[in-house]
Amino acid sequence: MSYTEEREIFGIKTRFFKLGNFMLGIPSEIGPRILYFASSKNPDLNLFGVVPEIKIETPEGLWKIYGGHRLWSSPEAMPRSYSLDDKLVQIGAYDGEITIYGNPERENSIQKEITIKLNSDDSLKVEHKIKNIGRWPIRLACWAISLMKKNGFAIIPIKPSKVDERGLLPDRHISLWPYTNLADDRIAFSENYIFLRQNPNAKLPIKIGTKANPSRVAYYTDGLLFVKEIVREDKEYPDFGCNVEIYTNSEFLELETLGPLELVEPLQVVQHTETWKILEVGKLEPRQEDVEKVL
């Protein structure tokens, strides 16, 4: 691991690191976040979107989405989920790993932390931690959200897996949000995959979630496939049992994974880990026969 430089992204001071074959940009004034993610073979292509102009009024003040990769807690609620993260954070880089220490969210009684490590196969392990800093137990799930650059498409595997010998019981489900229109042409289904395109000309948002099988989700753009893999635990998950969710509108697409719902006691920590890969795949279409060659 090496520290390369500090520069601004849309006015946000960001420290850049090379970790294996990856370039990471970590902002020091907001977070915990990862604002820049690229292959060192193509370091100028940030796979994450940065959208500092998008703002939402909350009871705490003006929340900015900023973009990049962030850690939230699920289930989503206003104002809890939209707690302001616009203060200086601590960044520790040592022994081949980088840790971003978030500030205490006193109103939510939690504190967040993200650690990035290099795996032996040159993938990244991204560990998300939420600590209960309050006096009472809190029920929540870690929610890891990557805001991707425009004009790509997301891929969710949803392969069948019989839960009984005869296949009489359901084995898959899809969660939908009130604004989601299944007739929208950004959504496409194949036998084993759900595809969702980001379209800058779209007028309405879409959100869709499911229990991914295998437990991963991907985003294609510019000849590259960004893959996030997780481990599915035999526990209750948010939003009718989702471990993967996709949200998109005209400005961006969010690639989201969730951990199980946990009752977190005071001073205890809940953790959710993603494994990140970037695959060079060339031209790819949202079709099952294309995706199965590379994923």
Q: What is the CATH number of the domain that holds 70?
A: 2.70.98.10
For the segment 95-118, the average pLDDT, to the nearest whole number, is 95
152 vs 168 pLDDT, higher one: 152
Q: What angle do CA 107, 112, 113 make, to 5 degrees?
A: 165
In the predicted structure, residue 26 carries a pLDDT above the cut 90: yes
For the segment 19-31, the average pLDDT, to the nearest whole number, is 96
Tokens 């009684």 label which residue?
A: 109
Q: Under 8 Å CB-to-CB from 202, ≥6 apart: which residues?
A: 184, 186, 248, 249, 250
- Residue 164: predicted pLDDT: 85
> Which long-range contacts does 233-240 make (Cβ < 8 Å, 24+ apart)?
233/259, 233/260, 235/260, 235/261, 235/262, 236/260, 236/261, 237/141, 237/211, 237/261, 238/74, 238/75, 238/141, 238/143, 239/74, 239/75, 239/175, 239/209, 240/173, 240/175, 240/209
Token pair belonging to 79: 């104002």
Overall number of domains in the chain: 1
Instruction: Give the structural domain span for 40.
Output: 2-291
- Residue 229: predicted pLDDT: 98
The predicted model scores a pTM of: 0.96
How far is residue 231's CA from residue 175's CA, in Å, rounded to a whole number?
20
Q: Which helix (H) or strand (E) holds 145?
A: strand 138-148
- Residue 1: predicted pLDDT: 64
In the predicted structure, residue 94 carries a pLDDT above the cut 90: no
In the predicted structure, residue 62 carries a pLDDT above the cut 80: yes
pLDDT tens for 125-136 read: 999 999 999 999
Burial status of residue 35 (CB atoms within 10 A of its CB: 0-12, 13-18, 19 or more): buried
How far is residue 92's CA from residue 257's CA, in Å, rounded to a whole number?
25
- The pLDDT > 90 percentage for the chain reads 92
pLDDT tens for 159-180 read: 998 788 888 999 999 999 999 9
